[in-house]
Chain A
């Protein structure tokens, strides 16, 4: 599974969004879903990087 990192969304919030289908899933499994979906989402938005830094510079 993906390496452990700070979750972008809590397990509780995720369960609310997933609905009743997620009831049989353990917290660990929900965490894994969040991590994987975050990795996929990040990959999609990667093309727009870099986001940080001072790109506006006064000469």
Chain B
């Protein structure tokens, strides 16, 4: 919703979210989603993919994808 329809976040969704997350967790998760969204949109205009430049982090990637990039790769 933050990405595709931020105005569509209604009371019902907030109730569901609060059943599973604290306010602090919701703030962190929301900020993370917004940050990742803006970043992905921007690097798309650079014609590069996540981790192709300064391959220092696997932040935001699914675990199976994260194994292929970032500083964890190749570690014993």
A and B together in one complex: no
